[in-house]
Every structure is written in C-alpha cells, then in structure tokens.
C-alpha cells in the first residue's frame, strides 16, 4: 500500500489521464525562478542537463485509477462524505456568486430554488443519487474537473475569485480526487449538471480509462445544479437502505451549513370518501337498526347528511432532513443557553450520557492558527475507563469546515485527559489526500497545547468554584450553631468538583505521573481524606493552611480508611494534633514519586523511620533521656535483633509518643508496607534484582513506656535462652508486622508459634501425646454382627429345648413304667 500511495503522490497533478493529454505544469515558472545550485553533481551542471531532451511523465490510466480508488480510503462509506462535501462546495460557490449577481439563484422559470442537498435511492435500478442546487458545471467543466485527476474545481474557483483566505467561502475540496471515491461502491458513475448560461449535460464513466459527455436529451430537468448517480456494485447494496445512508450522513456531515434531505417512505392514515358499494352495505346495516333512531335529534340528522368517510393506510414518500443539529461551536457563546449546550452534548458529543456535563469550555483560538473548540466533562465516567488506560488515548471529534474528518482523533490531548469529550473544527488543518488523517505538522502541536491548556483551565475553574462555596459556607456559619453535620449533606449540597473528583480523581494522579510540564497545575486539583476531615475532601492548599507549622505533608497509605485509622503510626500525630492525609488509592504512593513536594513542602510517609515529633534533635535533655533509655533496654534490643535475624534491619527505641508496644517502620528508601503489598499483587511481578533492592528494610521500634515491653525486658534478663521467651519475641514481631500493614511471610510458622503459646497459657505441654483414636465400625458391619449374635442365641435356645425335650421324654417313660408296675 505504501508503494501505491507514493505513486499517487507522484502522479497527482502531473497527468491528464482520461484525455491522454499532458497537463501543463502550473508551477514551472515558480520552480525556474527558485534558487537552484549551479551544479547538480560535481562536474555535472544544470545547464548541461537542461540542454537534453525534455519529456513529460506518462501514466497507465487504469492502474492509476485503481490505486486512487482502492488505496486512498480505508472505509468505503467515506464516498458519501466526499460527494456530500462536493455538493456543499457547489452550493457555497453559487451563494458566493449571488453576492454580485442575484439572478444566478433563479432558474429559467424565474423561481429561486432552495440551497440544499437531496439524496434519492432507487431500489429497482440499484442507484443512489446525490443532487444539489449549486453552481453546476458546463460541458468544459465536466471534462476538466472530472476528466482530469487531481484537478480541483474548488481550488481553481478560489484562485479565480481571489478568495483563498476569505472566511465567507467554506470550501473543503482541494485535491481533486474525492469524486473518485464513488467507485468504491459503484461500477459506473453518471453526473448530470446544469450551469447558468449552458445546456444540461451528462458525464458518465466506468473508471476504465475513458468517459463520455453528451448533451442531455431530456433537456433542463435540474434547473441548476448537479446530480451524481451511482450504479452500485453487488457488494455495496447496503447503501440502498435509507437507514444506512442516514447513519453515515449524520456521522460525517451532521453539521454542514446546507440542509441535507433523504427521500424515505412513510406510512400515513387519512380519511377518504366511502365508495358507492360501501354506502349500500352501510345503508343495509342501518335498515336493521331499531326504529327508535328515527327520533334522533336534528343535529344527528345533519351529521347523517355529511359526506361519509373511512380511514385508510397508505405509504407515501417524503424528504427527511438528516442534519437537524446546528454547529453550536460556530455561534457566540454569550448567545447560547445552558440548556442548548446540554442538549448538544447529549445529542452530538456523547449519546450515552443522560445527565448534564460537569463543566464545558467553548472558545475560539486566533493567531498562529485559528480553530473553534467545544469541550465537555461528562458527569459519569464511561464503563472501563481505567481498565484499558494505556491503550485508550484522549479522543476528540475533528472537523474541517464542519465536515467530520475523524470521530476519535488522538493527537490533541494527553492520555490522562481521556475523559474529556468534545470537538475541534478548523479551516487550517493540513489534511492528507484521503481526508481521513492529518499530516504531521507544527499546527497540530499548537492546537494540542491550546486545547490541553483550556481543558486544565476548565478543571481549575471548577475547583475554584468549590473553594468559593466553602468560604461562603464558613461565613454563613460564623457565630451560629450548625444543626446539620457534614455527614447529612444531600446530593445537591455536594460540590460539583467533589463529584468530579470521585469520578475522575485517578486521571489527575496519572497526569502528575505523565505530564511533568503541568504537574504543578494538576497538584492543585488533588483531593484527599484526612484524619480530621471526616467525609470531606481536602486540597493540599487547605492542608497546608490547617497545619501551618508542619514541616512536611504527612500521609499514610493502606487498603481502606478503617484499616488506616487503626494504624499505630497515627498515634504520635494524634497526640500532637497533626493532620495526616489518608492514601487509600493504589496510585497515591506512585504519584508522590513524581511529585516529591508541593509549594516547597515535602511529602513524608508516617510509616517511614526518622520522623521526630518529640524534638529530640533540638533538646539536650530529651537527647540525654533517650540515651539512658537506650542503654537500659540494650539487652532487649540486642536479643530481638539476634532472635529475629534478617527479618529486621534495626531494633530501636521509639522516640515519638504512642500507645502500641511495637511498630514496624521502613527505611527512607525502598517500598513501604502498602507499596510492597501492591507490587506483590501485580500479575507480572517477579522476584528479580530490582524487587530485592526496593524491598522495604524493616525497623522495629519499641515503646519503652509500655508494660509489655518492660515485662519482655525482664523476661530476657531472667532467661534469654528460653524457648517461650523467643516465641514471645517472635510473636510480638509478627503481630506488629500485621498491625503495621505487612503480610506475614511464613503463615505456617506464625500459626504454630501462636498454638505453642496458647498451650503454655493453658498449662498444657505442647509436646503432650494425643488420646488414642477411637475405633469406629460401619452400620452394615454392626447389623451383620447383630444378626450373627441373634443366630447364635437361637441355636443355644434350640439346644436347650432339645435337652428339655429329652428330659421330658425320660420323665414320661419313667411315669409310664411306674403305672404299669
């Protein structure tokens, strides 16, 4: 494809394809007058070369047309944009000429036709026609404008009028190749045109290297203007569907100045007179009605005398306007209401939104480059906004003279502003031949800087409005008892910027990480919950104002607010009444790596070691006191360092006041506990060299005033080699790990250690043997055993019966013998 495009770039403007006549080079004189080197190569002068035979370029017309048709455009639907744009240029030309000749707008009958574009579909003939009431083309114009590739009638019109810089002419055509996009969907194109002062002519071609122009035998059927008829290919019949045409036109040409109409079919109902047969049937039915109807009122008699009608349904054709929406950005913003802005946003910018946007910015840039822009911040973040963040750029609609060039243009704003919706419309953009993309140039960078600055200003104003509202609330409540708490605020009372922050706060943090130039502007937009703010979001400026004596911006990071507020790291700050920012978002600690300070005040994690709230560095008595404490607790610190080994880097005495017995802080460099948890949870994390370098270095800080620490010191001094003493030390460390935000490295060992201590607390030997395991018999086996036992019992009983019978027989025999004697 690249080879084809290079060939097009070389050929456009140099060939006369259809007439086989070489075009004159309009830039020959300019090239001759330009400064050129005397020698092309050492020993080869230009003068000698110019003495040689000069020939004109030639081209294979069929091949060139194939390249233009199939290589310039990525979507075949753009043919409709090109043809409608050409029609719009024709209308603009005739309107411009009418400024000096008002009769040009009238046809031969003296009637003034509407400056509009009409689109007709013929299902039977499989044709699509785009018709305009524009300036029209003479026979010569048809031959030159359509028969010569890259000869732009618009460009030549502007040259003839001397109006290249005239804003009154909104002409987009400039390359002279847009017309040939029609062959993307048509195997033949027929152009019928009527210009003032000339007959109506027909131009037709199959893009096979030849075309035909004849005088229209039908006479003047257009009045004035041009009709382009496309005989559609078999694979382009979807453009015979009015719904498809409506979608494409509204996408690309929705804001064209001139009305665009599409002929559609519509079902209507109407009342028609009842025919004679129907009247006879109706009279027969009325004859069978009750005779009481003869006594109807006079009014009913009059109604019966009125003509009888019936309702019928039929299909009619009518022209439907496709570009009802007006280009709002071209109007003065002072004349546009909020409702108009909101309706335009929902209808033309983001049809998925049902609520009014948070904010908007409507501006016109002048100077180095001129353009109009209209930006919005939607009130709802689109689904999955951050799921595919690194593959989704900021996208604005791009228009050139109100014709859509790209509905997702990514060159104007940085990625972190991908939630901003809107458009840019300019007359100065350097379009490529296909008008589907822009050439890389300085103009793009200038527009990008201005649009980005306006988007940031829009956010700044939104934040300032919130601050003004807060000041008004404070003034209104001075000296008064507020009956309602901030927790009871209704949805309407929540500021717009707060709603924005809850939707798009991640984008601001990502901007600080990605946009070093604007990170200070973005930092003013940051909002956080704090240990003293409740449900209210606090800016960094408000934090510094509330803590004017604080030398750092203190923060603590964790999974959620409840977990963070229970952290022992906050205890010294609560004792000193120092406010701490709550970092609950995954990005919070990341952005502090790019924004190390704000207004000259550095960010400081409260979970890092080295924070001195007790002022020991400036107090000799405090220093002396802690030196003595460290000496007294040295047996415990040495024991813990030896017992815990590589699990801790240091064991020290905590100098800041706290209630917990132990906390595990991290070194000044490397990850915090929260950062370590985030990195471990990443899908592609691996234990490489960087991970080992950044892994947190743990410091165990002991609260020497806590009874547990004092008791453990006594235990160590009593029997440091005891297994239970070591278990207590390791269990204290593990519990401090969990409380400080870390994850237990060896859960199995941690669990077994707890079980041993529980056994000791219950005076149970951890090594005691278990009771013997009982033996169990299945129910079927039990039934079999029972049956066997019953059989044995029956046998025994039978044996006893037999013995009894034998005894009875013997007794009877004895009795009988006695009787006989």
- Give domain status of residue 717, yes or no: yes
The token pair at 7 is 């060939």
- Give domain status of residue 573, yes or no: no
The token pair at 241 is 């569907």
Boundary of a domain, candidates 262, 280, 310: 262
Q: How far apart are CA 601 and CA 597, in angstroms?
A: 5
Q: Burial letters for 223-251: b for 16+ Cβ neighbours within 10 Å, e otherwise?
A: bbbbbbbbbbbeebeebbebeebbebbbe
Instruction: Based on the fold, state whether residues 95 and 232 are members of the same structural domain.
Output: yes
The whole-number average pLDDT for the span 538-560 is 91
User: Residue 609: CB partners within 8 Å, gap ≥ 6?
Assistant: 665, 666, 667, 668, 699, 701
pLDDT at 692: 53
CA distances from 680 to 102, 685, 748 (A): 77, 6, 19
Q: What is the pLDDT of residues 681-724, one digit of tens each?
A: 665 666 554 455 567 788 999 999 999 999 999 999 988 888 88
Find out whether 89 and 173 touch, Cβ atoms under 8 Å.
Answer: yes
Q: How far apart are CA 486 and CA 115, in angstroms?
A: 60
The whole-number average pLDDT for the span 30-48 is 58
- Give domain status of residue 736, yes or no: yes
- Give domain status of residue 128, yes or no: yes
Q: What is the pLDDT of residues 380-396, one digit of tens each?
A: 998 888 888 888 888 89
Q: How far apart are CA 411 and CA 398, in angstroms?
A: 10
3-state helix, strand, coil in the chain (%, to 5): 45, 15, 40
Write out the E strands in 630-721. 650-653, 662-666, 698-702
- In this predicted structure, the answer to whether residue 28 has a pLDDT above a threshold of 50 is no
Boundary of a domain, candidates 416, 435, 461: 461
- The dihedral built from the CA positions of residue 456, 457, 460 and 462, taken in this order, carries a sign that is negative
Q: How far apart are CA 468 and CA 194, in angstroms?
A: 64
Q: How many domains does the chain have?
A: 3
Instruction: Based on the fold, state whether residues 240 and 360 are members of the same structural domain.
Output: no
Find out whether 622 and 614 touch, Cβ atoms under 8 Å.
Answer: yes
**Domain CATH code at residue 182:** 3.30.565.10
Q: What is the pLDDT of residues 476-524, one digit of tens each?
A: 545 444 444 344 445 557 889 999 999 999 999 999 999 999 999 999 9
- Give domain status of residue 369, yes or no: yes
Half-sphere exposure of 135 (CA within 13 A, CB side): 20
**Domain CATH code at residue 334:** 3.30.230.80
Find out whether 273 and 309 touch, Cβ atoms under 8 Å.
Answer: yes
HEC assignment per residue over 575-610: HCCCCCEEECCCCHHHHHCCCCEECCEEEEECCECC
- Give domain status of residue 180, yes or no: yes
For the chain, the distance separating the N- and C-terminal CA atoms, rounded to the nearest angstrom, is 142
pLDDT band at 438 (very low <50, low <70, confident <90, very high): low
Write out the E strands in 106-207. 117-122, 127-132, 186-194, 201-205
Which residue did the predictor score with more confidence, 169 or 612? 612
Instruction: Based on the fold, state whether residues 245 and 341 are members of the same structural domain.
Output: no
Find out whether 545 and 528 touch, Cβ atoms under 8 Å.
Answer: no
Which residue did the predictor score with more confidence, 435 or 355? 355
pLDDT band at 203 (very low <50, low <70, confident <90, very high): very high
- The dihedral built from the CA positions of residue 654, 656, 657 and 658, taken in this order, carries a sign that is negative
Instruction: Based on the fold, state whether residues 257 and 334 are members of the same structural domain.
Output: no
- Give domain status of residue 476, yes or no: no
- In this predicted structure, the answer to whether residue 744 has a pLDDT above a threshold of 60 is yes
- The dihedral built from the CA positions of residue 475, 480, 486 and 488, taken in this order, carries a sign that is negative
What does the DSSP 8-state code read for residue 178?
G
Pairing state between β 225-232 and 127-132: antiparallel
- In this predicted structure, the answer to whether residue 592 has a pLDDT above a threshold of 80 is yes
- The three-class DSSP label of residue 378 is coil
Q: How far apart are CA 295 and CA 306, in angstroms?
A: 18
Q: Say which residue the tokens 């044996």 belong to.
A: 799
**Domain CATH code at residue 704:** 1.20.120.790
Which residue did the predictor score with more confidence, 378 or 302? 378
Using CA atoms of 545, 551, 555, 556 in order, give the dihedral in degrees to the nearest 10. -140
Instruction: Based on the fold, state whether residues 221 and 335 are members of the same structural domain.
Output: no
Instruction: Based on the fold, state whether residues 154 and 257 are members of the same structural domain.
Output: yes
| Residue 425: closest CA among 172, 787, 653, 197 | 172
- In this predicted structure, the answer to whether residue 307 has a pLDDT above a threshold of 80 is no
Q: How far apart are CA 200 and CA 219, in angstroms?
A: 6
Q: What phi-psi label fits residue 402: left (phi over 0), alpha (psi between -120 and 50 degrees) or beta? A: left
Find out whether 653 and 710 touch, Cβ atoms under 8 Å.
Answer: no
Instruction: Based on the fold, state whether residues 107 and 197 are members of the same structural domain.
Output: yes
- Give domain status of residue 469, yes or no: no
Instruction: Based on the fold, state whether residues 335 and 223 are members of the same structural domain.
Output: no
Instruction: Based on the fold, state whether residues 210 and 349 are members of the same structural domain.
Output: no
Boundary of a domain, candidates 761, 778, 796: 761
How buried is 512 (Cβ within 10 angstroms: 0-12 exposed, 13-18 middle, 19+ buried)? buried
Instruction: Based on the fold, state whether residues 85 and 211 are members of the same structural domain.
Output: yes
Instruction: Based on the fold, state whether residues 111 and 236 are members of the same structural domain.
Output: yes
How buried is 138 (Cβ within 10 angstroms: 0-12 exposed, 13-18 middle, 19+ buried)? middle
Domain around 694: 628-666+688-761
Instruction: Based on the fold, state whether residues 121 and 258 are members of the same structural domain.
Output: yes
- In this predicted structure, the answer to whether residue 76 has a pLDDT above a threshold of 80 is yes
Find out whether 413 and 448 touch, Cβ atoms under 8 Å.
Answer: yes
The token pair at 412 is 């104007």
Q: What is the pLDDT of residues 152-202, one digit of tens each?
A: 444 444 444 454 444 444 444 443 467 888 888 999 999 999 998 889 999
Q: How far apart are CA 348 and CA 534, in angstroms?
A: 40
């Amino acid at each position: 494809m690249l080879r084809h495009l290079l060939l097009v770039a070389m050929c456009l403007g140099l060939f006369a394809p259809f007439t086989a006549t070489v075009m004159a080079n309009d830039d020959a004189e300019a090239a001759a007058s330009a400064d050129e080197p005397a020698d092309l190569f050492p020993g080869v002068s230009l003068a000698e070369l110019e003495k040689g035979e000069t020939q004109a370029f030639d081209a294979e017309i069929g091949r060139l047309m194939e390249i233009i048709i199939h290589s310039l455009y990525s979507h075949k639907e753009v043919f409709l944009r090109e043809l409608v744009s050409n029609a719009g240029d024709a209308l603009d030309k005739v309107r411009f000429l009418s400024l000096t000749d008002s009769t040009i707008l009238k046809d031969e009958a003296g009637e003034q036709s509407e400056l509009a574009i009409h689109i007709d579909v013929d299902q039977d003939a499989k044709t699509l026609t785009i018709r305009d009431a524009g300036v029209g083309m003479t026979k010569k114009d048809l031959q030159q404008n359509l028969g010569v590739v890259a000869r732009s009638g618009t460009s030549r019109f502007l040259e003839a009028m001397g109006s290249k810089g005239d804003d009154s002419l909104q002409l987009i055509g400039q390359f002279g190749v847009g017309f040939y996009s029609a062959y993307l969907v048509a195997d033949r194109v027929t152009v019928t045109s009527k210009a003032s002062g000339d007959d109506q002519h027909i131009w037709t071609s199959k893009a096979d290297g030849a075309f035909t122009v004849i005088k229209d035998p039908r006479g003047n059927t257009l009045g004035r203007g041009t009709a382009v008829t496309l005989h559609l290919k078999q694979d382009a019949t979807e453009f015979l569907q009015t719904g498809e045409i409506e979608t494409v036109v509204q996408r690309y040409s929705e804001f064209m100045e001139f009305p665009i109409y599409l002929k559609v079919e519509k079902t209507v109902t109407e009342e028609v007179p009842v025919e004679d047969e129907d009247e006879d049937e109706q009279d027969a039915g009325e004859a069978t009605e009750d005779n009481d109807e003869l006594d109807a009122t006079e009014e009913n008699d009059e109604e019966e005398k009125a003509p009888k009608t019936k309702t019928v349904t039929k299909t009619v054709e009518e022209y439907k306007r496709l570009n009802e929406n007006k280009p709002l950005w071209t109007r003065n913003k002072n004349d546009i209401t909020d409702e108009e802005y909101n309706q335009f946003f929902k209808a033309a910018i983001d049809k998925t939104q049902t609520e009014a946007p948070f904010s908007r910015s409507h501006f016109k840039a002048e100077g180095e480059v001129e353009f109009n822009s209209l930006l919005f911040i939607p009130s709802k973040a689109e689904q999955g906004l951050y799921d595919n963040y690194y593959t989704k750029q900021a996208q604005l609609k791009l228009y050139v003279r109100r014709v859509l060039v790209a509905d997702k243009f990514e060159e104007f704003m940085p990625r972190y502003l991908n939630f901003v919706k809107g458009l840019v419309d300019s007359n100065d953009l350097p379009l490529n031949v296909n008008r589907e993309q822009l050439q890389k140039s300085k103009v793009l960078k200038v527009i990008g800087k201005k649009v980005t600055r306006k988007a940031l200003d829009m956010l700044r104003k939104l934040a300032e409005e919130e601050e003004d509202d807060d000041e008004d609330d404070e003034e209104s409540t001075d000296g008064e008892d507020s009956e309602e708490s901030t927790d009871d605020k209704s949805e309407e009372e929540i500021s717009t910027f707060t709603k924005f922050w809850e939707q798009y706060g991640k984008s601001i943090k990502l901007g600080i990480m990605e946009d070093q130039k604007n990170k200070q502007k973005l930092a003013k937009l940051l909002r956080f919950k704090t240990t003293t703010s409740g449900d209210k979001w606090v800016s960094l400026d408000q934090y510094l104002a509330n803590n004017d004596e604080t030398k750092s911006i203190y923060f603590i990071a964790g999974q959620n607010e409840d977990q963070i507020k229970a952290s022992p790291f906050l205890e010294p700050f609560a004792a000193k009444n120092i406010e701490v920012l709550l970092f609950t978002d995954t990005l919070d600690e990341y952005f502090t790596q790019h924004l190390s300070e704000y207004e000259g005040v550095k960010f400081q994690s409260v979970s890092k070691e080295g924070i001195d709230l007790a002022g020991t560095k400036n107090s000799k008595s405090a220093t002396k006191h802690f030196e003595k404490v460290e000496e007294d607790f040295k047996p415990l610190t040495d024991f813990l360092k030896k017992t815990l080994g590589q699990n801790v880097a240091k064991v020290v005495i905590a100098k800041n006041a706290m209630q917990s017995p132990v906390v595990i802080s991290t070194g000044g460099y490397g990850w915090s506990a929260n950062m370590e948890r985030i990195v471990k949870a990443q899908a592609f994390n691996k234990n490489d060299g960087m991970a080992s370098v950044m892994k947190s270095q743990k410091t165990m800080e002991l609260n020497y005033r806590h009874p547990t620490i004092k008791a453990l010191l006594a235990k160590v001094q009593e029997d440091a080699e005891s297994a239970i003493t070591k278990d207590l030390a390791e269990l204290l460390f593990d519990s401090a790990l969990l409380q400080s935000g870390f994850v237990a490295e060896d859960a199995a060992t941690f669990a077994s250690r707890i079980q041993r201590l529980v056994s000791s607390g219950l005076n149970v030997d951890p090594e005691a043997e278990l009771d013997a395991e009982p033996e169990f018999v299945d129910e079927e086996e039990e039934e079999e055993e029972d049956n066997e036992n019953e059989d044995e019992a029956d046998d025994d009983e039978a044996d006893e019966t037999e013995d009894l019978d034998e005894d009875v027989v013997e007794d009877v025999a004895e009795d009988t013998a006695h009787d006989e004697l």
